[in-house]
Amino acid sequence: MPRNLDLTALRAFVAVSDAGGVTRAAGLLNLTQSAVSMQIKRLEESLGISLFQRAARKLSLTPEGMQLLGFARRMLDLNDEATARLASDAFEGQIRLGVPHDIVYPAIPGILKRLSGQYPRLRINLSSSFTTLLRTAFDKGEVDVMLTTEDRPGPGGEVLSRQELVWIGADGGTAASQRPLRLGFKDTCIFRPTAQAALDAAGIPWELAFEGDSEQAAEALVAADLAVSARLRGRWPDGTVEVSGQGLPDLGSLSVCLYAAPTARGEAVEALMAELRLAYCG
């Protein structure tokens, strides 16, 4: 049956080794010399080995003691980190993260899972919408950290990458070849003005096939081959594919930008922003 090492005894052992003697270690630990000596004795008895060589009032580690010292330091470091992380108010509270719905996958679920495991007492709230709506919420102080998809960053924004905007339609569909071209965008979609301007510049007639605030309904219309839409490359909904050719104009690219509110501070916020940079850069 595995034996459990006493962390209190290990702490006394490390202190004696570092201090070079029981007297100084007792002062560092705020214990009596006899209490420290007893901890060392119990540790030696539990392991069945001698940890120190005692000669002329001088203590030195035995080979076994030197081996245990490395393990003891790591065990105490893990113990101290765990208790500090789980008991400290610094790792409580909440982070309100805003991410445009079309770039949530595949990165965000994994990032949130890792952050939750790292900071179990932290509440993480996710808001997913269009950049225009997220910006409004951010300006009102309702979002702490935000990703956006936009042509150029606003004040305080950090550009993580440029991503191409492409046309999408139903897999095997014909809506992209119809004229006037029918467009399936939610009313507040930031991609709609870009698509309309590109079609106007190319002299391609178009009409809106959808009006409303439901992204799911707009996507269903496109998947049913009743309209086309635009998304960042590689981030289109199920049932749709990138549409190339058909005389459709190039839509250019947009920046994925990162913002943090001035009040968003602390280790957990920095960890989240580091994860977002890693996932969305390049």
CATH of the domain at 208: 3.40.190.290
- Lowest model confidence (mean pLDDT) among 56-60, 116-120, 151-155, 167-171: 56-60
Q: Which of 50, 85, 120 is the last residue of a domain?
A: 85
Q: Which of 31, 59, 85 is the last residue of a domain?
A: 85
Could you give the number of structural domains in the chain? Answer: 2
Burial class (CB in 10 A: 0-12, 13-18, 19+), 232: buried
Residues 263 and 203 in one domain: yes
Question: Residue 1 has what pLDDT?
Answer: 62
Model confidence, pTM: 0.64
Residues 67 and 107 in one domain: no
- Lowest model confidence (mean pLDDT) among 48-52, 56-60, 66-70, 146-150: 56-60
Taking residues 139-157, report their average pLDDT.
92
Read off the amino acid at residue 109: P
For 130, the token pair is: 């269009």
Residues 26 and 98 in one domain: no
Residues 146 and 253 in one domain: yes
Does 90 score more than 60 pLDDT? Answer: no
The CB-side HSE value for 193 (13 A sphere, CA atoms) comes to: 6
Residues 217 and 96 in one domain: yes
Residues counted in the chain: 282
Share of the chain above pLDDT 90, in %: 61
Residues 110 and 220 in one domain: yes
Tell me which residue range forms the domain holding 211: 91-281
Residues 51 and 95 in one domain: no
CATH code (residue 28): 1.10.10.10
Among residues 143, 162, 140, 131, the alpha carbon closest in space to that of 255 is found at 162
pLDDT (tens digit per residue) in 13-55: 999 998 888 888 888 888 899 998 999 999 999 999 999 987 7
For 250, the token pair is: 């190039």
Q: Which of 19, 52, 85 is the last residue of a domain?
A: 85
Residues 76 and 173 in one domain: no
Residues 114 and 187 in one domain: yes
pLDDT (tens digit per residue) in 94-141: 899 999 988 998 899 999 999 988 888 888 999 998 898 899 999 999
Residues 66 and 112 in one domain: no
Residues 101 and 207 in one domain: yes
Residues 243 and 155 in one domain: yes
